[in-house]
Structures are given as structure tokens and as C-alpha cells.
Amino acid sequence: MTSKNKINEDLANERRKCNFNIEEVTYILDGGKEKTLQRKKIEDVALNGGASVDDIPEEYLSARERYENAIRKSCIYTNIVKNEVLEITGIENYGSPVLRRTGDAFFKDISPFMLHLGMFVPSIIGQCTAEQQATWLPRALDMKIIGAYAQTELGHGTFIRGLETTATYDPETEEFVLHSPTITSYKWWAGGLGRTANHCTVVAQLYTQGKCHGTHLFIVQIRDLETHMPLPGVKVGEIGPRMGFNTADNGFLGFNNYRIPRMNMMMKNAQVLKDGTYVKAARHGKLTYGTMVFVRVTLVGEASFNLAKAVTIAVRYSAVRRQSELRPGSIEPQILDYPTQQHKLFICIATAHAFQLTASWLWNTFTAVQAEMKKGNVDTLPELHALSSCLKALSTSDATAYIEQCRFACGGHGYMLSSNLPFLYAFVVATRTYEGDYTVLLLQTARFLVKAWEQAESGKVVTPTVAYLNRHFTTNGKMIWDNSPEGIIRVFQSVAAGKISLCVRSIRNRITSGMDHEDAWLMTTVQLVNAAEAHCRSVILHTYWNEIVRLTKHSSDNVKTVLNQLVMLYLTYWALERTGDLLRYSTISENDIDLLQRQYEELLVKIRPNAVGLVDAFDIRDEILQSTLGSYDGRVYERLMEEVQKNPLNKEPVDPSFHKYLKPLMKSKI
Ligand SMILES: CCCCCCCC/C=C\CCCC(=O)SCCNC(=O)CCNC(=O)[C@H](O)C(C)(C)COP(=O)(O)OP(=O)(O)OC[C@H]1O[C@@H](n2cnc3c(N)ncnc32)[C@H](O)[C@@H]1OP(=O)(O)O
Ligand SMILES: Cc1cc2nc3c(=O)[nH]c(=O)nc-3n(C[C@H](O)[C@H](O)[C@H](O)COP(=O)(O)OP(=O)(O)OC[C@H]3O[C@@H](n4cnc5c(N)ncnc54)[C@H](O)[C@@H]3O)c2cc1C
């Protein structure tokens, strides 16, 4: 073995200690052995050519070079997908998360095509009639047209009803006239819009026959397909450097009485007839928000995957890194041996599992609701909206915090861009804001919870994810503490029920003392966010536990054991994090809390020998991890040194600025 492919001895030892079948766990996380094999096949085809390698790491490039390089790599990757991957896997895999994730081998930051695939194509699928799909979808899938999703404006992102861009129907020409009446009506933020897209989905206030019908979606060509010049009446550009997403050319867009054909209105849920008559499919008022619901659902899996990357890096690094001494003269321990380090990292492994299994469950719920809606039944949409809102909010927020924790766990080297942890953080922290800000989405869930509470109060049976509210009205007093998984979950559900009940009481008291409903709601929003968070926590705990029980039924004993240890760690961790709530809403005693703490510390010890095996089970290839600290072979120090050689600042022994500035300064007299 050359030193290039030799595995670090500490990491090799860790792998020898691992006592469970790693592949079995990978299959569970991927959703079955077939899915793992399919993923590996895709990765082999897409990555074995080594296309991701940059001569100069992208962080050393100028803004223009970075963008050009990102486009170059996006085209390479797209060609591989079109010509090689889909040949094997079939077109139905086009938008699959596996392809999205494999693409991470090409970009440390993000592909300028991400929004084309992530939102433009889904909006055609979800919002267009079959006839419109036949016109647009094949061209979009074949990259003959490249799109963005332009909803947010300079003045409004959260409050969609407040968007100002207008689309006014002109029956004379059978066209819509798009217009940006104010600075604040300029579209702002859309990924891929600034320099890449030639089309986009535009969300605008629809006017016809003198009446505004609220926001609707339109497909709009913004650039000439030959010259790429913005079309007359279109003003478009890039919004400037950002914390992350710097290769996504997020853009601005304004219209000056710009005309598009009538059939460019996405007409699945509402139509404007030739004479200007507005016809609404009378199913649900918010169906035009469907693309956002789809993306919120997929973001739970994104949170899991990015956290899995971060913790793979941090655990492998912690096995290689040695620091300090426990006793005078003794060998320096691997930092992974410190319980405080285990406390930082094992919860990240468990959370990645919890989110991955919750994401699959949510995806199944989403497809079931879609199937019902196809039959004309929209009854399950409010529950899906409430679930996808809070799960998107919590998964992205927790993943952000834990990726930062992984960076802390890697000390100074974690701060290097080459560790990839800063890129991962900058990417994931944005997910807390986009596609609906954290607070705003939890308040959407809270609306649903308050309604569900009122239904349960009046004796109605409520939908499954809030069924615990029915129990709340049939039991008296605090929930009995029971330190079993089911017991802990029940207590978390009681916490949620108790908090929702307090919110309802606060709103009612405020109304009784003279406030109108809007103000009473507004004054209660701090509590409402807290109650929605508690509800969502209980959903995740419940789903994670149920899925582990279901998925490990036929697993080998050691896999069962280690996955049980992780889910128990997760339940115990959150119980300890929420002791205040538990004391308030259950009969837990100080002694029970001491026992929980001991149980937690014992779980850290039990999981320790399998920690590297557990991150290996995420099965994330080095090309996708893109980290000097986290590669499979653990050659941390060698890779950090190799990276130094790529630094353009090290190309010359003396920097020209020495003669230009430093030397004159050194020679000058005071
Ligand atoms: C391969 C996959 C790759 C995936 C990766 C993709 C990466 C992409 C990278 C970047 C993407 C970034 C893209 C964007 O950010 S696009 C812009 C997203 N913008 C938002 O999310 C805006 C958030 N705001 C809203 O959603 C809404 O304004 C609102 C906060 C929900 C409020 O809307 P509105 O004022 O109309 O509604 P009300 O609050 O009055 O509520 C009225 C009732 O409607 C219900 N409702 C609201 N939304 C929905 C929905 N989506 N579905 C169903 N029902 C909905 C709401 O609950 C109210 O019901 P009630 O019964 O209580 O009256
Ligand atoms: C990296 C990135 C990529 C993006 N890509 C796209 C894209 O491709 N297409 C697109 O259309 N948009 C995109 N966006 C925009 C994004 O969707 C919005 O920024 C997001 O929805 C938040 O809206 P906002 O910026 O208006 O925040 P604001 O609503 O102004 O939020 C500011 C603060 O006010 C609070 N707040 C707002 N309203 C309420 C309320 N009702 N109650 C309580 N608190 C409230 C929020 O919690 C937040 O703390 C992107 C954004 C980012 C950062």
C-alpha cells in the first residue's frame, strides 16, 4: 500500500471494533437494499470519471470565474446524467434526491441549475394542465429551456398575498401583460435567475375584467434562446455576494409591460378563458402554493443528508485527532474518547437517522395526499401543510445547529474551508429561511393545532398526527412519567397538548378582556411558536421510534441493538433538554431526571465503539464529502498539507505587495 491509499491506523482500529453489519444499516437508511444498489450504480456512473476535480479549489476563484466554473461543471454533470445515468436508471429518476446528492461531488457550493430541477420543473409538473406539460416539460427535462422560480420580491417574501408584480389579461391580443409597478415589486432572490435562466416561473397578481384574483403562476421567457440577451421589457441581473449560494446566481427581475401568451398562465388550478372570464377549480384556495409544499417535504431529507455529511467528517476526524493527556505521561487520547465530544457528535448521528426516516415517512404522506387530491379530495391537505411546515422548520433549524456543533468538534481545522464544514453550514443555514422562514412556518402549524384543539374539545375525533389531543380531554392531571420509549413519547405529546391548551386559554382570556381575535393571536405568537415546536418534536420522536421498530423487525441482533441505542439516545437527549417542560406536564421526579442523565451517559459509552461504523453506514463517497478532515482513509494531516500546495498565494516565495507596500512602510521614518 502506498501512503496515498493507506488507512490511518486509528481509523482502521475503529473499523475493527465495529460490531454490526454496516451494509444492513445503509440499506435501512436508503429505504431498502435495491435502493442502495441503485444509488451506488448512479454514483459509479456519474463519479468514476473523476469529473469533479478542480485544478484550483473554487474558493480561490473570483466571482466571475467561480460562476463560469460552476456552469462548466453543471453542464458536465447534466450530460453525464442525460447520456449515461438515465440510460440505466430510467427517466423517472430525473428529479430523484440521489441525483441531487451525487451532484454535490461537483460543487462545494451549489449548482446554478439547482432551482431549475428543484422548483421550475416541479412547478410545471404540479401547476400545469396536461396540455401545458406536453409543451414545456420535455424541453425543460432536456435542458432546452432553463428555468428559475421567481416568487419573492424585494418588498415581500413571506407574505405572498402582498406580492406586487401584476399580470393583467388583455382579451384583444389574448395575452397577459406583466408589470413591476414599484422598486419593491422587483423579483429578488430566485436561484439561477441572475445569469443562467432563460425562462422562469413568475408569481404575480392576476387581473382580468378589472378584478384582482390574487397570486397565480406564469411561465415567462426572459432571455433570447440564441443570444441569451434579456428580451425587451425584461430587466434581469445578479443580486450580489451572499453568505453561501455564491454559485447559484440568485437574481433580480423586473417587467415593463411585458407581454406573454394566455397559455403561459399555469392553468391546472384556475384558468382565464379567451374572453377574460376567470374560472377557478373549486377545490382548495392554496393549491397554487403546491410547489412550496413539495420543496418543504424534500428539505427534511436535505437536512438529514447534510447533517450526515457533517457528522461523518467530524466523527472520522475525532478518531484520527489526538489531543491532551488524561494522566501525566500517558498517550494522548483520540478526541472521540472524550464523553463531551461524544455528547456533541452522537446526537448528530441519531438526528440524521431521525430526519431521514421522518423524511421518508413524510414523502409517503405527501404522495398519499397527492393521490387523494387527484380524486378531488382535499381534506388531508391542511394536515400535510401543517406537518410539512413544522418538519421543514425544525429539521433545517436543528441541522444548522448540529452542523455548527460538528465544526466546533473539529477545533481550528474545522474552520478551514477545505474541511467543507463552513460550506455545509452556509448552505443549510439558508434552508432555515428560504421556502418559508422558521417562525412563519411554525405559526402556520400553530393555526392547525389550535383548530384541532377546538375540535378535540368539542368531542370530535381529530386526524392521526394530533390524535393525542383526544387523549388530553379524557385524562385528568399530569401524564404519569414512564421511562420507556412509548412512555417518553406520550409525555412529549402531553407537553404539546398542554402548551396548545395554554395558547388557547391565552387567546380566549385576551379576547374576554377586550382584544379582537387578531391582536389576541398576535400577543400569543411567542407561545404558539413554542407549542408548534413541541408538537413537531413529538411527531419526530414518535416517527423515529415507530420506524426503527418497523424497519429492524428482520435485522440481525447487533444492528437492532445499535439502532435501538441511537433512538434511545435521541429520546433521552430530548427528555433531558426539556426537563422544565417534563416537570410541568408530567409526574417526572428529580430522581427520574438523575436516572435519565445516567442512562444518557451509559448510552454514550455503548455507542462509542460503533461510532465510526455508524458514520461509514451513511455511505457518503469522498468525492461527495469533499473534506480534508473526513475522508474514508483518515489522511487528515496529509490532505491539509496537500491543500496548501494548491493555494495560489504560495506560488511565489515573495508576494509583490512586499515591494509595493510593505517595504516602503518599513523604510519610512516616523
Ligand atoms: C431534488 C430536490 C432538490 C430540493 C432542493 C431545492 C433547493 C432549493 C434551493 C432554494 C429554494 C428557495 C426557493 C424559495 O424560497 S421560493 C419562495 C418560498 N416562499 C415561501 O415559502 C413564502 C412563505 N409564505 C407562505 O407560504 C405564505 O405566505 C403563508 C405564510 C403560508 C401565508 O399565506 P397566506 O397569507 O396566503 O395564508 P394565511 O396565513 O392567511 O392562511 C390561510 C389558510 O391557508 C392555509 N395555507 C397556507 N399555505 C398553505 C399551503 N401551502 N397548503 C395548504 N394550505 C395552506 C393556512 O393554513 C390557512 O388555513 P386556515 O384553515 O388556518 O385558514
Ligand atoms: C439562499 C436563498 C435562496 C432563495 N431562493 C429563492 C428562490 O429561488 N425563489 C424565490 O422566490 N425566493 C427565494 N428566496 C427567498 C426566500 O424564500 C425568502 O427570503 C423567505 O421566504 C423569507 O422571506 P423574507 O425574506 O421576506 O423574510 P421576512 O418575512 O422579511 O422575515 C424577516 C423576519 O420577520 C419575521 N416575520 C415575517 N413575517 C412574520 C409574521 N407574520 N409573524 C412573525 N414573524 C414574521 C420572520 O420570522 C423573520 O425573522 C431565497 C432566499 C435565500 C436566502
Q: Which of 224-238, 272-286, 305-319, 652-666 has the lowest mean pLDDT?
A: 272-286
Q: Is residue 622 part of a domain?
A: yes
Q: Which CATH number characterizes residue 198's domain?
A: 2.40.110.10
* Inter-axis angle of helices 339-374 and 557-577, nearest 10: 100
> Annotated catalytic sites, by residue?
435
Q: What is the pLDDT of residues 313-359, one digit of tens each?
A: 999 999 999 999 999 999 999 999 999 999 999 999 999 999 999 99
Residues 293 and 221 in one domain: no
Q: Are residues 438 and 538 in the same domain?
A: yes
Domain check: are 312 and 404 in the same one?
Answer: yes
With cut-offs at 50, 70 and 90, classify the pLDDT of residue 88.
confident
Is residue 629 pLDDT above 70, yes or no?
A: yes
pLDDT digits 0-9 by tens, 175-231: 999 999 999 999 999 999 999 999 999 999 999 999 999 999 999 999 999 999 999
Q: Which of 440, 529, 530 to mutate to test the pocket of ligand 2 (most atoms within 8 A of CB)?
A: 440
User: Which ligand is closest in space to the CA of residue 382?
Assistant: 1
HEC letters along 239-265: CCCCCCCCCCCCEEEEECCEEEEHHHE
Ligand nearest to the CA of 151: 2
Q: What average pLDDT does the segment 229-248 reach? A: 97
Residue with CA at minimum distance from ligand 2 atom 24:
157
- Side chain identity at residue 419, one-letter code: S
366 shares its domain with 492: yes
Mean pLDDT for the chain overall: 95
When comparing pLDDT for 508 and 670, which is higher?
A: 508
The SS3 assignment for 214 reads strand
Tell me, yes or no, whether 278 and 296 share the same domain: no
> Which residue segment(s) compose the domain that 271 sits in?
146-282
CA distance 170 to 167: 10
* 417 shares a domain with 388: yes
Cβ–ligand 2 distance for 382 under 6 Å, the answer: no
Q: Do residues 278 and 292 share a domain?
A: no
Does the pLDDT of residue 2 top 60, yes or no? Answer: no
Residue at a domain's end among 260, 282, 304: 282
The DSSP code sequence of 483-548 is -SHHHHHHHHHHHHHHHHHHHHHHHHHHHHTT--HHHHHHHTHHHHHHHHHHHHHHHHHHHHHHHH
Count: domains in the chain:
2
The closest residue, in CA terms, to atom 40 on ligand 1 is 161
Q: Are residues 298 and 265 in the same domain?
A: no
- DSSP 3-state of 359: helix
The 10s digit of each residue's pLDDT in 142-152 is 999 999 999 99
Best mutation site among 111, 121, 158 for ligand 2 pocket (most ligand atoms within 8 Å of CB): 158
Spatial distance between the Cα atoms of 450 and 590, rounded to a whole number of angstroms: 32
Across the range 509-524, mean pLDDT stands at 98
Cβ of residue 351 lying under 6 Å from some atom of ligand 2: no
Predicted pLDDT of residue 283: 74
Ligand nearest to the backbone CA of 289: 1
Residue 107 falls within a domain, yes or no? no
Instruction: Kindly state the helix (H) or strand (E) to which residue 175 belongs, with its residue range.
Output: strand 175-179
Ramachandran sector of residue 228 (left: φ over 0; alpha: ψ -120 to 50; beta: rest): left
Q: What is the pLDDT of residue 52?
A: 58
Using DSSP's 3-state secondary structure scheme, residue 216 falls into: strand
Instruction: Using the mean position of ligand 2's atoms as its centre, give its distance from the Cα of residue 29 in Å.
Output: 32
What pLDDT is recorded for position 3? Answer: 62
Query: What confidence score (pLDDT) does residue 90 get?
Result: 78
Cα 215 to ligand 2 centroid, rounded to whole Å: 17
Grid cell digits, residue 181: 409597478
pLDDT for 94 beyond 80: no
Is 468 a member of any domain? no
- Write phi, then psi, for 646 (nearest 5 degrees): -85, -5
Cα–Cα distance, 220 to 51 (Å, whole number): 33
Residues 270 and 366 in one domain: no
What sign for the dihedral angle of Cα 627, 628, 630, 635? Answer: positive
pLDDT at residue 4 greater than cutoff 80? no
Q: Is the CB of 118 under 6 A from ligand 1?
A: yes
Mean pLDDT of the region 156-180: 98
In a domain, 116, yes or no: no
Of all residues in the chain, what percent carry a pLDDT higher than 90?
91
Model confidence at 81: pLDDT above 70: yes
What is the pLDDT confidence band of residue 622, given thresholds at 50, 70 and 90? very high
> What is the mean predicted confidence (pLDDT) over 376-381?
92
Q: What is the pLDDT of residue 285?
A: 81
